[in-house]
Amino acid sequence: MFGTVREQGEDAMYVVAIHRISDPGKFLSTAQTTELPAGLTLHSLLPSQDGSQAVCLWEGSSVEDVRALVEGAVGEISRNEYFQVEDAKAVGLPQ
Residue 60 lies in a domain: yes
**pLDDT for the residue 4:** 46
Residue 7 lies in a domain: no
Find the domain containing 62 and state its range. 13-87
Residue 5 lies in a domain: no
Instruction: Taking residues 63-92, report their average pLDDT.
Output: 97
Q: Which DSSP letter does residue 15 get?
A: E
**pLDDT for the residue 8:** 43
Neighbour count for residue 35 (Cβ, 10 Å): 9
**pLDDT for the residue 48:** 98
Residue 94 lies in a domain: no
Asked whether the beta carbons of 27 and 19 are under 8 A apart, the reply is yes
Residue 3 lies in a domain: no
Residue 48 lies in a domain: yes
Residue 64 lies in a domain: yes
Number of domains in the chain: 1
Q: What is the pLDDT of residues 58-70, one digit of tens each?
A: 999 999 999 999 9
Instruction: Taking residues 70-90, report their average pLDDT.
Output: 97
pLDDT exceeds 90 at position 87: yes
Q: What is the pLDDT of residues 20-55, one digit of tens each?
A: 999 999 999 999 999 999 999 999 999 999 999 999
CATH number of the domain to which 71 belongs: 3.30.70.100
